[in-house]
A and B are shown apart, each in its own frame.
Chain A
């Protein structure tokens, strides 16, 4: 077995949390159950991975087989990577029958005709997701297995999720190969990025709960008025609080929100001030870059108005993120008579 393959397997195993190693090896299926029985998972990880490499050596693993283990790891831990969303456009309206074999053949052919040195792996999952792992080389060097690109393509949709981590030069080639293989006309990058692959899917596949208009009035929840409760104590601003809750729910929806980590706004709007303040009055845009970050951005934005930190309703620039399926925006001033409003992104 090649030394580089051995090292690659060793490093891949080290990434896996100790409790998951056995399960992942079983999914991988490269080592027999008997071989797995010989492994002691209670030693330090360094030793576990060495033992696994030893067994792989016995089975003469090659790089493509090793790559499958990496794919399994990334499928279970996709959030370790940053994903961008791309959308492909078709020529006509016909939904063609998707032939996976044809797709794989065309994809490999396009990449290999441009670059001799690439490692390409495919793996299909139940939800019609096709995972593609690509390790890139150059005409003179072998593929770098540590700087791989991952592509997740749901064949029934025009959406592709790409985690690049490659030189920019390989990205057009990758996009081209996807378009050719899937029989689309072209592909463009959406302004939507996140570590949470599932959340990106939720957003573009509209799997989060939308706001539905209810045409029947909701029954007012009855307050439990226990005899001990002092009726002299009233909650001030109760109406306002309820209004804020209601308006906030309308903006963000009721259900769980997709998990995004950031949103970025490039502002090219005018600076407007109270003329009494005697400050800047320029005819050019006041250029700003605003970036919101949070472990769960939409949830934290939703909490701002009830916390008193934002008006209710909060700006549609924030609530539109899931509907518009983007978290990168460029905001310009709306031209025309009503200069007080904004161009919708």
Chain B
């Protein structure tokens, strides 16, 4: 174990690195926890994520899914896909699977590509699908209302995509915002067209603790919210929820004394950080918080819920968060 930790070093800004050692995993992606993780994709410093374009991703609740590789998908055919999906949505509506009863909605579908949203050139560019409605009889003055958004992405998923046959495109992470019924319609079209499979991405308490530790250390300038951990104790006669919020400066001060290498986090450091928080809690309340179920983590960077819901709060660290989520999605697929 020690040599593994020692081997995991990366120079920020250097594009090339030995991918195998980087994540320090001995067992590959078998779902076991990583021994170490990076905060940001290594080649990020060379990319300028367009904050304008990605601003719409922030402060929205995104539901997470893992997606198996798409067969014969090409980002050169996005307009065709938009047309086909549009027809499919219209057909579903005819079948009576419409979302809103009695409202005549003309649904417009758009596909767009986000080359900025990836970890390196080896990742597929993110694909955004949006459903908007054009209401009203007059098409000219009608307002377009965004009904539903979903995007596929892969950040630093090269290990996975390398091992997949030619015809397949790897975009293992899928995020949605909007009515569940639209998610079902879009999902089933993709499943039919590209022979892929969607699954809700649950986030384990272990991974939530990683998020708490990793994101607490990130430098954020203004309006820093507290680090909040929400625990649930469901199996009592009366269920109990415990919210444990730590002042962001104090949480960061603690984390800074725990973390040894900037830009990189190890399992041991996460454990120490959490143990500190648990023992501080125990000192006051005599309750073993570690025995409760961690269901939600909120930091300045992002907030995540165990049922697979994420909210991005800082564009600066967007790719870093996506990298972690991509890794979780891939673990779920394999």
Interface set of A (CB-CB < 8 Å, partner B): 265, 267, 269, 271-273, 277-282, 285-297, 299-301, 303-304, 307-311, 313-315, 317-318, 331, 342
Please name the residue on chain B nearest to A318 by beta carbon.
Answer: B285
**Please, which residues of chain B bring their CB within 8 A of the CB of A286?**
246-247, 250, 254, 280
The answer to whether B238 and A292 have CB atoms under 8 Å apart is no
Kindly list 14 other residue pairs between chains A and B, CB separation below 8 angstroms, not including A300-B237, A310-B285, A315-B285: A271-B250, A271-B276, A279-B272, A280-B276, A287-B250, A289-B243, A292-B241, A299-B238, A300-B236, A303-B236, A314-B286, A315-B287, A318-B285, A342-B284
Chain B residues 140 to 176 lying within 8 A of chain A, measured CB to CB, are none
Question: How far does the alpha carbon of A213 sit from the alpha carbon of B90 in the complex, in Å?
Answer: 74
Is B44 in contact with chain A by the CB < 8 A criterion? no
Known: A279-B276, A315-B284. A295 touches B239 (CB 8 A): yes
Question: How far does the alpha carbon of A300 sit from the alpha carbon of B272 in the complex, in Å?
Answer: 29
Known: A265-B284, A278-B257. A304 touches B233 (CB 8 A): yes
The answer to whether B291 and A309 have CB atoms under 8 Å apart is yes
Please name the residue on chain A nearest to B239 by beta carbon.
Answer: A294
**Please, which residues of chain B bring their CB within 8 A of the CB of A290?**
242-245, 281, 284-285
The answer to whether A315 and B226 have CB atoms under 8 Å apart is no
Q: How many residues of B contact A (CB 8 A)?
A: 33
The answer to whether A304 and B287 have CB atoms under 8 Å apart is yes
The answer to whether A295 and B243 have CB atoms under 8 Å apart is no
**Please, which residues of chain A bring their CB within 8 A of the CB of B253?**
280, 282
The answer to whether B285 and A317 have CB atoms under 8 Å apart is yes
Question: How far does the alpha carbon of A314 sit from the alpha carbon of B258 in the complex, in Å?
Answer: 29
Interface set of B (CB-CB < 8 Å, partner A): 226, 233, 235-247, 250, 253-254, 257-258, 272, 276, 279-281, 283-288, 291-292
Question: How far does the alpha carbon of A228 sit from the alpha carbon of B244 in the complex, in Å?
Answer: 50
Of the residues B233, B245, B258, contact of A288 by C-beta under 8 Å: B245
The answer to whether A295 and B238 have CB atoms under 8 Å apart is yes
The answer to whether B247 and A310 have CB atoms under 8 Å apart is no
Of the residues B239, B279, B284, contact of A273 by C-beta under 8 Å: B279
Of the residues A269, A272, A279, A291, contact of B254 by C-beta under 8 Å: A279
Of the residues A280, A304, A308, A313, contact of B257 by C-beta under 8 Å: A280
Question: How far does the alpha carbon of A286 sit from the alpha carbon of B284 in the complex, in Å?
Answer: 12
- Counting chain A CB atoms within 10 Å of each CB, which of B240, B246, B288 scores highest? B240
Known: A271-B254, A291-B243. A310 touches B237 (CB 8 A): no
Question: How far does the alpha carbon of A271 sit from the alpha carbon of B247 in the complex, in Å?
Answer: 12
Please name the residue on chain B nearest to A286 by beta carbon.
Answer: B250
The answer to whether A303 and B237 have CB atoms under 8 Å apart is yes
Q: Is the interface of B mostly helix, strand, loop or mixed?
A: mixed
Known: A279-B254, A287-B247, A315-B285. A300 touches B240 (CB 8 A): yes
The answer to whether A314 and B285 have CB atoms under 8 Å apart is yes
**Please, which residues of chain B bring their CB within 8 A of the CB of A318?**
285
The answer to whether A307 and B236 have CB atoms under 8 Å apart is yes
Question: How far does the alpha carbon of A313 sit from the alpha carbon of B280 in the complex, in Å?
Answer: 17
Question: How far does the alpha carbon of A318 sit from the alpha carbon of B281 in the complex, in Å?
Answer: 13
Q: List 17 A-B contacts (CB under 8 A).
A: A271-B250, A272-B280, A279-B257, A279-B272, A286-B246, A293-B241, A293-B242, A293-B243, A300-B237, A300-B238, A303-B236, A304-B233, A307-B233, A309-B291, A310-B287, A315-B284, A331-B284
The answer to whether A301 and B240 have CB atoms under 8 Å apart is yes
Q: How far, in Å, is A342 (CB) from chain B's closest CB?
A: 7
Question: How far does the alpha carbon of A313 sit from the alpha carbon of B287 in the complex, in Å?
Answer: 10
**Please, which residues of chain A bring their CB within 8 A of the CB of B226?**
289
The answer to whether A294 and B284 have CB atoms under 8 Å apart is no
Nearest first, the 8 closest Cβ-Cβ pairs linking A and B are A287-B247, A300-B238, A300-B240, A311-B286, A291-B243, A296-B238, A310-B287, A303-B236
The answer to whether B245 and A309 have CB atoms under 8 Å apart is no
**Please, which residues of chain A bring their CB within 8 A of the CB of B279?**
273
**Please, which residues of chain A bring their CB within 8 A of the CB of B244?**
288, 290
Question: How far does the alpha carbon of A294 sit from the alpha carbon of B236 in the complex, in Å?
Answer: 10
Of the residues B233, B246, B276, B283, contact of A309 by C-beta under 8 Å: B233
Question: How far does the alpha carbon of A295 sit from the alpha carbon of B234 in the complex, in Å?
Answer: 12
**Please, which residues of chain B bring their CB within 8 A of the CB of A300?**
233, 236-240
Please name the residue on chain A nearest to B248 by beta carbon.
Answer: A287
Q: How far, in Å, is A196 (CB) from chain B's closest CB?
A: 13
Question: How far does the alpha carbon of A290 sit from the alpha carbon of B239 in the complex, in Å?
Answer: 17
The answer to whether B238 and A287 have CB atoms under 8 Å apart is no
Please name the residue on chain B nearest to A301 by beta carbon.
Answer: B240
Known: A271-B280, A279-B272, A287-B250. A310 touches B257 (CB 8 A): no
Question: How far does the alpha carbon of A294 sit from the alpha carbon of B243 in the complex, in Å?
Answer: 11
Question: How far does the alpha carbon of A101 sit from the alpha carbon of B46 in the complex, in Å?
Answer: 79
Q: How far, in Å, is A65 (CB) from chain B's closest CB?
A: 40
Q: How far, in Å, is B306 (CB) from chain A's closest CB?
A: 17
**Please, which residues of chain A bring their CB within 8 A of the CB of B245?**
288-291
Question: How far does the alpha carbon of A267 sit from the alpha carbon of B243 in the complex, in Å?
Answer: 13
Question: How far does the alpha carbon of A337 sit from the alpha carbon of B292 in the complex, in Å?
Answer: 34
**Please, which residues of chain A bring their CB within 8 A of the CB of B281?**
290
The answer to whether B246 and A293 have CB atoms under 8 Å apart is no
**Please, which residues of chain B bring their CB within 8 A of the CB of A299?**
237-238
**Please, which residues of chain A bring their CB within 8 A of the CB of B254?**
271, 279-280, 286
Of the residues B241, B243, B288, contact of A310 by C-beta under 8 Å: B288
